[in-house]
Structures are given as C-alpha cells and as structure tokens.
Amino acid sequence: METILIQALQFMMAISLLVLLHEGGHFFFSKLFGVRVEKFYLFFDPFFHIFEFKPKNSDTAYGLGWLPLGGYCKIAGMVDESLDTEQLKKPAESWEFRSKPAWQRLFIMIGGVLVNFILALFIYAMCLFTWGETYVMPKDMTEGMVFSSEAKALGFKDHDILVGTERGDFKEFGPDLFRDLSVAREARVVRDGKPMTVGLPGDLDLLQMFKSKPVFVSPYTPANVDSVCPKSLAERMGFRKGDRIVAVNGMTVSSYNAFRDIMDRLRTSLDNAAHTHADSMKILTVSVTLEREANGHMCNVTTKGVMGDDFLFGFTTKSPEFKKTHVEYGFFESFPAGVRYGCNVLSGYVGDLKYVFTAEGAKSLGGFAAIGSMFPTQWNWHKFWLMTAFLSIILAFMNILPIPALDGGHVLFLLYEIVTRRKPSENFMLWAEYIGIGILLLLMLLANLNDVLRILHII
C-alpha cells in the first residue's frame, strides 16, 4: 500500500506541474496579445470548485477544481471545453480571442504545447548535467541474453551477446534496442566468444516482440536465490539463500527468465482453464527442485507449496555484475545532449503509435493506473524528473494531434483559415468541440477500462 501511495503522489505532483505550465503557455500568449483570460484552473470544476480567488483589478479568476483530469485556461471569446455559448451571442469585443488576427490566435493555441516540449528538453538537460548517464551496454552483458522461440527461429541462441545491427551498436538494453531489431536486416552478436551475424526480415512486429510470453529477448538472469522474504511462500517451502532453482513441476529451469516464463504460463492456465476450485488448486500447487550445497556436496531438494493468485514466491535473485558506462556532462554540454535525448524519446514514441490502431495495440492503452505505475516505488528524484520529462513530451504531442477539443484541433482550423482566408463558423466550431470531447472521453474510458482488466488479469 505504501508503494502505491508513493507512486500516486509522484504522479499527482508531475501532472499538476505539467498542467499548470501547459495552461501557463496559453495564458502567457493570451496576455501578450491583449486577450482576456477569464479563468485559470488546475483540475476541472464541474458544479463546484475547491477554492477560487480573483485579484483586485484582474480579469482572471484563479482556482483549484475537484476533478483531477487536467486543467484549463478559459480564454474570452473562444470556443473551448467550457462550451460557453453565451459569449458567442454577443458582438465580439477587441479583447476577445475571436477578434485577434489568425497568427496571434495560432500562437495562443500552441503556447501550451511549446512550453511542455521546451520543459521536457530542459529537464532532460538538467538531469544529464546533475546525474550524467549510467548504463550497461548490451555488448558488456557477458552472460548474454535469453531469447523467445520466435527469436530462436530467426537464428538467435540463448547466451548470444547482442552487439548491434547495421544501424549501429546498441547503447543500452531498452526500447530502442527492440526498435532497432524490428527494422534491421541483420543483428551482430557474439556467440561462444566469436562475432557473427543473424539475418532478420526487417519488419518484425514491435508490439509482439514486447508482449510475447516470453518476451523476444531479455538479459540472462541466473535462477539463484539471493534472499528470502520472511513469512513468504518461499520461506514456507524451505528456500535458502544460495539455492539454485533447477526445475518447476518437472520442467527444467536454466535461468530466472525461464522460471518467470513458467509462472506466466501457470497464470494463463489459471485465468483460462480453471473452472472449478479443484482445477485452481491443481494449478496453484507447484513442485520446485532446488540445487543446494550440503556437507560440501551439491544435492537436489524438492519441495511443494500452494501459490497465491499473485504468483509471487517472495524471494529475490541477483543479476550479474557487468561493466557500467558512465558519461558526465558539463552545464553547456548538457543542453544539446538533452535536446538529442528528448528528440529520441519523441521519435520512438511517435514511431510506436502505429500499433495503437491494431487490436493488440488498443489493449495496450493505459489510463491513470498504468501511468502511475511507471513511477518508482521508492522516492527517487532522478527517476521522478525523467518520468516527468517523458510525460511532458507525451502531453505536448498528444495535445497537438488534430482532434477537435485538443490544441491541435484548434490549430488545424486556424491553419485552414490562414490558407483559405475563410473562418469556420462558430456553430461549426461548437459542434467540432462536442465531437472532440466525445472522442477524448471514449479514449479515456478505454484506457482506464484496460487498467481494470489488467488488474483482473483479463487482458
């Protein structure tokens, strides 16, 4: 419970900061061009608000809403999510949004996106300046990797050490490695100490590479018990520090990766094949064979236990220690490095979006729970700021999409006006806002429904 609260707090802090600065971008350009801002709110306030204040001689009311789904900057004379149609029935005033030239309205609309993107690059730069970069290059993972059956069909073998592709060497084990493999024609590996290449088709399904069970490739982790949690299933079954898992239910285990794969298959069986209590108990009862040193000799010990439906045993393993690469950045060096880092994050995210329009991709959408779970379970300022920068870039990109009710929808209509010199009618803009809000609500419902279904192990 404590870890969930820590993640929730980090999520709320990050989102609050990003929403305030996003709306601040709209606010800045509105004031710059003499447009009145009627309300500036963190979170939405349907029916009531938590608090509101309006400084003397100010046109703007500042407040805090109760619905933490974003925030808004209510700009006078603009059709927005407030759907205030009363102001549109009156003659346009000089201080209203609709009275300003199209180019000024364009800057007001992109102000939030611009702030979020610049903020992300700045955070990345400051993270690089403060902490530098520390990572393990795949070529330095001397124990190699473990591959799925699909990967082995392409020519990979367990304990191959991935080096790179024709696109270059892999920097670290992460999403970019998978992206490079998905479009590569050949992968360079070290096998049994000898460099060699593995031919690839150049069009692997990136989503399937991530979602397949087991995953396409993962760093090898030995199945050695490093510690046992008190009162856990592992303790009740007699696990000890230094034990090595060699079999589960009679199936040979050569790595912790293989142990996890067996647990995933058992979880799937429980979800899909258990129709009675007896079926469930049969699946949840496991037999584990451990290799243990006793009296100076290695021997096998077999023990049985009943798992909970979380499939957690309560022991930890220790990953092999590999050479780490650390890069330091000076203050001025950090800015171009931060720009490169941020642009690479954005490029990867945009490239992955094509998978959203597939059935599996739709299932991969995540709501508030999924986003919150991406924050560390223990407070870590470095990881917090990296995650905040990532969300800032995503917020900027999502808002610039040409969907009515988003900034990008308004930008689309403004560009149409600039090109054709014809302004869309206010009635058209109002209906576009209705449609856009409907689309966004459906997407939000789908994303958060996926969170619930994942918690219930339905997807």
Q: How many residues does the chain have?
A: 459
Angle (CA) 379 123 120, round 5°: 115
| pLDDT tens digit sequence for 399-428 | 998 888 888 988 998 999 899 988 888 788
Whether pTM > 0.75 for this model: the answer is yes
| pLDDT tens digit sequence for 60-114 | 989 988 887 778 888 888 877 666 666 667 777 888 888 899 999 999 999 999 9
Q: Which of 336-340, 369-373, 450-454 has the lowest mean pLDDT?
A: 450-454
User: Which residues fall within 8 angstroms of residue 153, CB to CB, at 6 or more apart?
Assistant: none
User: Which residues fall within 8 angstroms of residue 390, CB to CB, at 6 or more apart?
Assistant: 120, 345
Query: Which pLDDT score, from 0 to 100, does residue 200 have?
Result: 95
Reduce the DSSP state of residue 314 to 3 states and report it.
coil
| pLDDT tens digit sequence for 208-252 | 898 888 899 999 999 999 999 998 999 999 999 999 999 999 999
Which of 234, 238, 230 is CA-nearest to residue 292? 238
| pLDDT tens digit sequence for 13-36 | 999 999 999 999 999 999 999 999
Query: From start to end of 150-309, where are the E strands?
Result: 161-165, 168-169, 186-191, 194-199, 217-219, 227-228, 244-248, 251-252, 285-294, 297-306
The yes-or-no verdict on residue 353 having pLDDT over 90 is no
The pLDDT-based confidence of 433 (bands split at 50, 70, 90) is confident
The pLDDT-based confidence of 355 (bands split at 50, 70, 90) is confident
